[in-house]
Amino acid sequence: MIAIPAIDLRGGACVQLVGGSFADEKVRIADPLTALAQWEEAGFRRLHVVDLDAATDRGDNRTAIDALLGDATSVLQIGGGVRTTEHLDDLLSRGAQYVVVGTRAIEDVDWLRDVTSRYPGRVIVAADVRERRVSVRGWKKTLDLNILDAIDTLNDFDIAGVLVTAVHVEGQMKGPDLGLIGDVVERAECHVIASGGISNADDLRALQSLGVHGAVIGMALYTGALDPRATAAEFSE
């Protein structure tokens, strides 16, 4: 399993939110390149970049993303508000190794079929989950769609993986929803990347034991609850 630090962008800065709430911002680093350098220097080989403003229709962080793409030596998976083929094309052409798509991929399977046929193995589908139901549009809308039913649909596409974020534990550092993630791993025919609630190395080991391919880590790294070097060394593939 590979550990993947998160760089969440809001207003040009790198931030960490609790429970997906913009009103509950706990961490802010003015220059995202500072976070990039910190995680790469610690030994992480893959980073997860999300444009929170684009995801919630509050603007975008293109300037910050361009800077990250220009400086990164690690693999970048970039998402947040990617709802058109042109946006996906643009990110891949600018150097993103993977593009993370959420809302439109869930709501428009014909579009997902088109972009995954264009870019097989380069698209990661983000499934944000509150109590087993899929949330879209930057966590603002929860669908009457069970995550396992969504996984059944995604199994038909050539995606790089599915990123499951347990929004109900996101940023709280109380542990991941292992029951949820375990069920997803059992049902999915692609790589599963887990996010939400990770607080320590034991949480990462528990996810690894379930067969998770990658774990996106935010608050635990930014607050120092996890040792970056030790985490990068233990969870590197």
Residues designated as active site: 8, 128
Closest to 218 measured CA to CA, from 23, 12, 22, 28:
28
Asked if residues 159 and 189 have their Cβ atoms less than 8 Å apart, the reply is no
**DSSP notation for 116-144:** HHHSTT-EEEEEEEETTEEEETTTTEEEE
The rounded distance, in Å, linking the Cα atoms of 45 and 125 is 20
Q: Cβ distance 73 to 40 under 8 Å?
A: yes
C-alpha distances in Å from residue 166, one per residue of 76, 130, 140, 144, 218: 21, 6, 14, 16, 13
Tokens 């760089």 locate to 7
Tokens encoding 231 = 């985490």
Q: Running DSSP on this structure, what letter comes out for residue 236?
A: B
**For residues 237 and 26, is the Cβ–Cβ distance under 8 A?**
no
Alpha-carbon Rg of the chain, whole angstroms? 16
Helix, strand, coil percentages in the chain from 3-state DSSP, rounded to 5:
40, 30, 30
